[in-house]
Structure 1
């Protein structure tokens, strides 16, 4: 029996024939869906492959950041320092510092200018002000008028004028906080126990020789709030410069307790007892550590990529379609996909070519200005002779240390010389990695790429379109099957009706 509602066919199967029409159509459609399932599996595989490519690019990008550090001369010319009076003076040396001994005698530390109330600021010492209450409410205890603003001057590479606005509800602590937070180069606070205000420069050094560095003479409103109310007189303890003698011959000064000479950064913590001796030496251990870490990361990268291009694909475990997953548990799906994802980049030409190029870079000759160190093997680094290592690097630490101690500049040039036609090994390696990453991006894009911006994306877009078209055709095929079975049901029903009629006639 078949009826039509709103132009669509109402399917009622098997009433006349007694056949399982639903089951028959479902079986027929399962066969029809096989090409769609294959397209869905191909799409899933391409998405996995795209993600695998992107993972490789992420690894290579992280390795690229390491190469940036290996291109710097400072990496190969690290310095270490020692001080005979480390409690009074310490030093760090840049790569440009000359190795050797230095003598520094510190006779005076740099200090900050500071001004403190000459007496307690409360009119009655037995009834001190409340620094958290509004100034208006404390005016009687302060013994002075509260102005609408405060003005003061500081000296630091020139004269700087400052003005602090006072609001009606501001407390003394609020005003002092405004002074501190106002980028004025000073900090101020009220000490309850002594009943005094402290205001001092945040930086050290003498910037107004012979005069105050925090000048309140501009504060004339209300008779001078700073001087008359807060009792900040001209009795300022001025800032001082650090004074020291360099190499026993040159007397020098510094606005701070730090100074840099000949690429050495000195820090003064106290005056010295006579001269302190500072030694600057090449820090071979630090350079060794950086080179060793870099080689380790390189080996990890090629080991990972080699694993991807040699991993066999398990074709017995094709990607699961949505329908197939509905019939499996989460653990079953996980185990299946673990096997299904094997060999995503098996024998990939981009990666195998990139690995080959990276390995070849290490065999290049570089003119370092020292014939003894023109090849990687000269400094104790070579590729492993073990076949299964696939070109990993191994280090002879004793030979590398000897090369660094003998001529660290030549080692630097071997790795990072940037002259066209005579590039260092790291620069060549960087070119190979960058080219490989660019090719991968053309194929797999990035997380921000649209489907039309990379080749796998275009294929994914195409297969999605074909799947949608095929789904429409399946719908038409299913409707056709139902139409055919419905016609059969109608014919059988009609024959049954005729047979019943004849039986009734003969029986009569």
Structure 2
């Protein structure tokens, strides 16, 4: 901004005069700035509300399906032998589970190895220090049984090889391998649990030094081997096998931890001869409390959003309130400014048509009758209803309450029809909730379709508001230019006047001098 030296001859407060002359332009610019500020606040409110609606929309989407409800719960009589969980497809009742075997990886613990001088053995120790003299010796890593997968792989080492070289080749052969220097032992295991992944370490029959090498490495006959095995269970008289300790059977997820019955031959076991007194009892029931809590959580989320919308729609008018200028803020305390601006923000969605549309869509979908097996049901059929305009708290007339809900002071004393319905006919309640959720989900989704004014998953005209905000920025910039141009115009006029006055004063001084002489 140029530095202007004005009013030096005339003595006029030129800055104040120019400010008054362009005040009409400044007022116009200030009007657009305030409108843009309010629009920005409105965008923030819509974004926050839209985020909540989207989150609710997604959760409602899950309730359209059986998987959205905790319909079954199950218990195990002995969790040290088996733990169990149930999906909605699980059969209600008690089942008998025998655990005959748990899944085990093949595991080999090597014998302690020593050097000729009884020195410390580390991964860098050479095999020659263990008494190996040949340049190249081979041994085999292969399947432990006919059912085991994979092929036999040959390990080749020599006197100059190190313990580390042996470990790396065993890993390359598909084993988990480690050498513990503190215990001077190799520890090997199959990569997965199960009978089919078990392994054996064997000498190469064509290499006379192979057995000597395995003994030197502690991997010969003195090594301790635990064979890989499958998990075998008998559920309701039927045998099941798994390479892991986890089973999924008819809606039950079973994880076995210990054996209930010791049998000599898993292949030939007589399942009918098993002693049921040793079995784990699996009890599955309908989780009425879980379903109740799911419905209650849904209604709580719905109430929070619909109450917020209702409050925004019914907000008091802020007709005589406008965003404050910097000068106005400087004359007020921070709390007064905050109170002033909150008054405006709270009113920005008052009687908003977009808000009214989404509210009506949601409330209408919640009141629709739903037919199940030829009979119509509504939320009130299960003791769920609003309190009505006369009884509800301010802006909570659209909220739903569950009769008998101990957490609701308004309806806790009423008969609990929802829990009674869940106890007697849970399938009907779930079918009703699935259809209700589908109606609500569809209603919200319809309001979030994209068009020229809004983006997908937006319940307000975000595109339009962004365009308006940009337009305000452009308009404000144009008025700033107009103000600057007008100021320059008037300052030039006053500058010319000051110049003329200066010349006049000079001429007057000359004349005065001539007459005085």
CA distance in 2, matches of 1:84, 1:323: 75
8 Å CA contact 1:152–1:218 kept in 2: the answer is no
2:480 alignment partner in structure 1 = 471
CA distance in 1, matches of 2:452, 2:442: 17
CA distance in 1, matches of 2:243, 2:504: 114
CA distance in 2, matches of 1:410, 1:221: 74
Aligned pairs (5 A) from 1:88-487: 88-117=81-110, 119-124=111-116, 126-131=118-123, 134-135=124-125, 138-144=126-132, 152-153=141-142, 158-159=149-150, 172=163, 176=167, 184=174, 186-207=175-196, 213-214=199-200, 227=214, 229-233=216-220, 236-247=225-236, 249-272=237-260, 274-321=278-325, 334-369=338-373, 371=375, 374-385=377-388, 386-387=391-392, 388=394, 389-397=396-404, 398-416=416-434, 424-438=435-449, 443=453, 454-487=463-496
8 Å CA contact 1:114–1:200 kept in 2: the answer is yes
8 Å CA contact 1:358–1:429 kept in 2: the answer is yes
Once the two structures are superposed, residues 28-59 of structure 1 have per-residue CA deviations (whole angstroms, 9 ceiling, x without a partner) of: 33443110111111111111112211111101
Q: CA RMSD in A?
A: 3.8
8 Å CA contact 1:25–1:478 kept in 2: the answer is yes
Shift, 1:293, TM fit: 0.7
8 Å CA contact 2:138–2:210 kept in 1: the answer is no
CA distance in 2, matches of 1:149, 1:461: 78
CA distance in 2, matches of 1:277, 1:270: 14
CA distance in 2, matches of 1:380, 1:322: 55
2:64 alignment partner in structure 1 = 71
Q: Which runs of 5+ in 2 are unaligned?
A: 261-276, 405-415
Once the two structures are superposed, residues 168-205 of structure 1 have per-residue CA deviations (whole angstroms, 9 ceiling, x without a partner) of: x997468748866x794x42222345421110124332
Shift, 1:470, TM fit: 1.6
Relative distance call for 1:487 and 1:129 in structure 2 (3 A) is: same
8 Å CA contact 1:205–1:239 kept in 2: the answer is yes
Shift, 1:426, TM fit: 0.9
Once the two structures are superposed, residues 441-472 of structure 1 have per-residue CA deviations (whole angstroms, 9 ceiling, x without a partner) of: 96565999xxx981112222222222222222
TM-score, with structure 1 as normaliser: 0.81
Relative distance call for 1:188 and 1:231 in structure 2 (3 A) is: same
Once the two structures are superposed, residues 309-339 of structure 1 have per-residue CA deviations (whole angstroms, 9 ceiling, x without a partner) of: 2222434442245676688786665454333
1:3 alignment partner in structure 2 = none
Q: Which runs of 5+ in 1 are unaligned?
A: 1-7, 417-423
Relative distance call for 1:400 and 1:254 in structure 2 (3 A) is: same
Relative distance call for 1:278 and 1:177 in structure 2 (3 A) is: farther
Shift, 1:157, TM fit: 7.0
Once the two structures are superposed, residues 326-369 of structure 1 have per-residue CA deviations (whole angstroms, 9 ceiling, x without a partner) of: 88786665454333423121111111121122111122122222
8 Å CA contact 2:116–2:131 kept in 1: the answer is no
TM-score, with structure 2 as normaliser: 0.80
Relative distance call for 1:196 and 1:475 in structure 2 (3 A) is: same
Shift, 1:150, TM fit: 9.7
CA distance in 1, matches of 2:79, 2:514: 126
Instruction: Pick one of 8, 16, 21 that aligns with 1:15.
Output: 8
Once the two structures are superposed, residues 264-291 of structure 1 have per-residue CA deviations (whole angstroms, 9 ceiling, x without a partner) of: 1222222226222211111111111111
Relative distance call for 1:425 and 1:251 in structure 2 (3 A) is: closer
Instruction: Pick one of 497, 500, 504 that aligns with 2:509.
Output: 500
Shift, 1:304, TM fit: 1.3
Relative distance call for 1:300 and 1:10 in structure 2 (3 A) is: closer
Shift, 1:99, TM fit: 0.5
Shift, 1:393, TM fit: 0.9
Q: Residue 341 of structure 1 aligns to a residue in which SS?
A: helix
